[in-house]
């Protein structure tokens, strides 16, 4: 994969789209103890963060972390609309 400072290459865009689609399939569950592997999205995030620590700077891990964060925000906004106090 080539790295582009101005934006994603077509290959990166395709990878991002495929990965975002896969993330939407991951399950999240709220149990009292989240360390039992019940939350696939959190588990995926932990694996990607670990891999990025081992091989920092790889574009694939950067894209994955961005997409995981987007998916978490999407799920939070759908499940719990943010209330703004003015």
Closest to 45 in 3D by CA, of 66, 30, 25, 16: 66
Q: Is residue 51 part of a domain?
A: yes
- Termini Cα distance of the chain: 45
Q: Is residue 67 part of a domain?
A: yes
Q: Predicted confidence band at 4 (pLDDT cuts at 50, 70, 90)? A: very low
Q: Is residue 53 part of a domain?
A: yes
pLDDT at 86 exceeding the cut of 90 = no
State which residues form the domain around 52.
10-78
* pTM over 0.85, yes/no: no
Mean pLDDT of 67-72: 93
pLDDT tens readout for residues 7-35 = 899 999 999 999 999 999 988 765 545 45
Total count of domains within the chain: 1
């Amino acid at each position: 994969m080539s790295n582009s400072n101005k934006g994603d290459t077509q290959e990166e865009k395709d990878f991002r789209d495929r990965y975002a689609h896969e993330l939407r399939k991951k399950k999240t569950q709220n149990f009292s103890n989240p360390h039992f592997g019940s939350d696939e999205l959190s588990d995926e995030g932990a694996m990607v963060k670990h891999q990025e620590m081992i091989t920092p700077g790889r574009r694939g891990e950067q894209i994955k972390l961005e997409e995981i964060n987007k998916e978490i925000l999407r799920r939070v906004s759908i499940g719990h609309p943010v209330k703004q106090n003015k």
